[in-house]
Amino acid sequence: MKSLQNCIDKKNIFDESISIYMHPYISTLIKEFMLNANTKIALEQSAYMRNQFSFFGIKTTERRVLQQAFLAKEMLPDKKELEGIITTLWKQPQREFHYFAQELAFKYIKQLEKRDIYLYEFMVINQSWWDTVDFIAAKLMGAYFKKFPEQKAIYVTKWLKSRNIWLQRCALLFQLKYKEETDIILLSNTINALLGNKEFFINKAIGWILREYSKTNPEWVTTFTKNTALNPLSKKEALRLIK
């Protein structure tokens, strides 16, 4: 692969049928992904994701090698350009762009601003599926609410009322790696608000967050599970690590 700096050109080198201007960072990434496409693998990847998304057919390990130059500190775009770049990538049909975009967003996790939550919400409610939502919730939103804890209750309440299952899943999973910092009052209130939900991805997330917290506080999880009318799936997942 040529060096990223040599590849970048001010002209749009993507499909001419796309009329919008592409940031050179994006057009260079697109070219790199297109050059490494594999139709057979793409069909297999799409089938695995229930044919909801198109793929270039680039395996995860290969994609991460291709991404290295783009995610190098010296090649990262200015933070003020991030929202436009990620939004553009997120609107592309191929799933590899979405994976790259969320990993790009994580590169700016030490430069968080209050308005970044709008971008994260956009990413969750568009091109939605567990493979991106879980990364956004645990890694992006999780870091965001640590920096802006006063925003937690506001957004959890909003997401619970939204009836969007992916935002509701985020309301649970943003604390996935919080360990001792887990807000158990907020967590228990969030779970109680979702009791009776028949959605698999919600009940699975309830079990997952409780199972993860059981590594830190098994007594609390045991008591909470015993005293709460959890869905059988949630209960099974919650107690999986507790003997």
Count CB atoms within 10 A of the CB of residue 230.
21
More confident residue, 236 or 22: 236
More confident residue, 220 or 13: 220
Arithmetic mean of pLDDT over the chain: 92
pLDDT digit string, tens, across residues 65-94: 999 999 999 999 999 999 999 999 999 999
Structural domains in the chain plus CATH codes = 1-111 (1.25.10.90), 113-243 (1.25.10.90)
The set of residues, in sequence order, having a beta carbon less than 8 Å from that of 210 and lying 6+ positions away, is 191, 221, 224, 225, 234, 237, 238
Q: Please state the pTM of the whole predicted model.
A: 0.90
For residue 64, what are the CA distances in angstroms to 8, 33, 121, 128, 180?
19, 11, 25, 22, 32
What is the end-to-end Cα distance of the chain in Å, rounded?
51
In this predicted structure, the answer to whether residue 2 has a pLDDT above a threshold of 90 is: no
Share of the chain above pLDDT 70, in %: 91
The set of residues, in sequence order, having a beta carbon less than 8 Å from that of 55 and lying 6+ positions away, is 41, 42, 45, 46, 49, 94, 95, 96
